């Protein structure tokens, strides 16, 4: 049984049955030292002022950084006591929970019915014997997996990609649609504007 409950029972016995403190303590099994004990109220005013000064200067600091700064300032308060005051002042920052992305159902890729209906294009990279890096831009027809062209260069910006696709148009014509990933060459304004002007 907790000491506080025993102390309460002893006080009730003393008041209701007019027994001595020694007898009431003996009945409930409580020592007289515990009966007379009064907990000391801690003065947290200094901790409050120090925490307010730190958080006013560093608005985005959490408890670990604030406590480390308190220790560097020379204070020896227990971290539990400091955290209790920290929570009483409502200085603890709310953590942002990650928003769950709804499950996606990937659509099946439909095979084209004729040649020139859909193209797929992507990049690859390699290095030569002298360790110089280069990239290749590959274009294939999804109907028969024919490689329509490969452009090789050290740098392949979107402007060069669109010019190369215009050259392929001279031999194969523009497709009805194309398949690309989310690379920066395909998501920029240069390639997007080209697609709006040339695709049907």
pLDDT digits (tens, 9 = 90+) for 149-184: 999 998 888 889 999 999 998 888 888 888 888 888
The domain limits of the chain are: 3-36, 45-88, 118-198
CATH topology of domain 118-198: Nucleotidyltransferase; domain 5 (3.30.420)
Give the pLDDT confidence of 47-106 residue by residue, as tens digits. Answer: 999 999 998 888 888 899 999 999 999 998 989 999 989 988 888 766 667 777 777 777
Alpha-carbon separation of residue 8 from 2, 27, 50, 110, 180 (angstroms): 10, 12, 38, 79, 77
Q: What is the pTM of this model?
A: 0.46
């Amino acid at each position: 049984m907790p000491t506080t409950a025993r102390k309460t029972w002893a006080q009730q016995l003393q008041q209701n049955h007019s027994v001595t403190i020694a007898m009431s303590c003996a009945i409930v099994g409580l020592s007289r030292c515990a009966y007379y004990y009064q907990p000391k109220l801690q003065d947290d005013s200094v901790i409050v002022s120090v925490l307010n000064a730190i958080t006013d200067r560093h608005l985005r600091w959490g408890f670990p950084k604030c406590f480390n700064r308190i220790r560097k300032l020379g204070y020896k308060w227990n971290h539990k006591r400091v955290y209790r005051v920290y929570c009483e002042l409502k200085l603890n920052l709310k953590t942002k929970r990650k928003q769950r992305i709804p499950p996606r159902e990937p659509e099946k890729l439909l095979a084209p019915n004729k040649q020139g209906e859909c193209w797929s294009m992507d990049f690859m990279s390699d290095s030569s014997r002298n360790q110089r890096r280069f990239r290749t831009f590959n274009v294939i027809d999804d109907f028969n997996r024919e490689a329509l062209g490969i452009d090789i260069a050290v740098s392949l910006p979107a402007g060069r990609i669109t010019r190369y696709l215009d050259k392929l148009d001279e031999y194969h014509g523009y497709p009805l649609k194309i398949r690309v990933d989310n690379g920066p060459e395909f998501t920029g304004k240069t390639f997007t504007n080209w697609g709006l002007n040339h695709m049907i």
